[in-house]
Structure 1
Amino acid sequence: MDAPKPWHLYLLLCRNGSYYAGITNDLERRFQAHLRGTGARYTRANPPLEVLASHPYADRAAASRAEWQLKQQPRARKLAWLLAQAHDGAESQLTDASITPA
């Protein structure tokens, strides 16, 4: 039996300069869906240019909690937090102590 795929919280840069955050268990498939216009409503109106960052989580619940926390943050903190997670490697809570403004 295959091990379950980790869930990822990801941050996209959209054509209008905005960020879009989401979760998936197949980042490449989901990014392609956003590019085709079959992903989220937001990315149909604001097509993505690239994946800026992503961070794996053990399960969907953990990824969903992190997504909610990330979406509560000001724009400058979103990318900084995800990049810090990539270096940290741990599933940490989004707090002012774990992020620095970009």
Structure 2
Amino acid sequence: MTQRVDAPSEKPPGGDVKPWYVYLVRAANGSLYCGISDDPQRRFLKHQKGQGARYFKTSPAQALVYMEQWPDKGEALRQERLVKKLRKSAKEALVAAYAATGG
């Protein structure tokens, strides 16, 4: 899992910041869905149950294939926008690199 540590995080008063994740889920048709969550495992289970993203109505979620940790929701949203703009081949390269590191 990639962890961004050099980005400043904004701490809410009286509490720690919970990390957020950009994640990719492989659908049954082979496509990749990109999203963010503070708990990607829980979100993936919701995707598998058909809850949440309409994306999986036509092709069910099969596997959580990539996660990247960010210090806060804002950073995760920025990274999600960048990942969504990537070509499929670049997203597949992220998945392959993540798998190679034991992700």
Range into which the TM-score falls when normalised by the shorter chain: 0.7 to 0.9
The match for 2:47 among 34, 40, 47 is 34
The alpha-carbon distance between structure 1 residues 82 and 16, as it changes in their structure 2 partners (threshold 3 A), is closer
Q: Kindly state the Cα deviation for residue 45 of structure 1 after the two structures are TM-superposed.
A: 2.1
Matched residue SS, 1:54? strand
Q: Kindly state the Cα deviation for residue 78 of structure 1 after the two structures are TM-superposed.
A: 1.1
Query: What residue in structure 2 maps to residue 44 of structure 1?
Result: 57
Q: Which of the pair has more CA radius of gyration?
A: 2
Q: Kindly state the Cα deviation for residue 28 of structure 1 after the two structures are TM-superposed.
A: 1.4
| Structure 2 segments unaligned to the other structure (5+ residues) | 1-13
Q: Which runs of 4+ in 1 moved over 6 A?
A: none
The match for 1:64 among 68, 77, 99 is 77
Query: Greater helix share, 1 or 2?
Result: 1
2:20 aligned partner, one-letter code: W
- Partners of 1:26 and 1:60 in 2: how far apart? 12
The match for 2:38 among 25, 29, 41 is 25
Q: Kindly state the Cα deviation for residue 46 of structure 1 after the two structures are TM-superposed.
A: 1.7
Query: What residue in structure 1 maps to residue 17 of structure 2?
Result: 4
Deviations 1:58-87 (A, max 9, x none): 011111111111111110101323665796
Q: Kindly state the Cα deviation for residue 35 of structure 1 after the two structures are TM-superposed.
A: 0.6
- Partners of 1:47 and 1:22 in 2: how far apart? 15
Query: Equivalent residues in 2 for 1:76-91 (5 A)?
Result: 76-81=89-94, 84=97
Q: TM-score under structure 1 normalisation? A: 0.75
Structure 1 residue 13 and structure 2 residue 26: aligned?
A: yes
In the alignment of these two chains, the number of paired residues is: 87
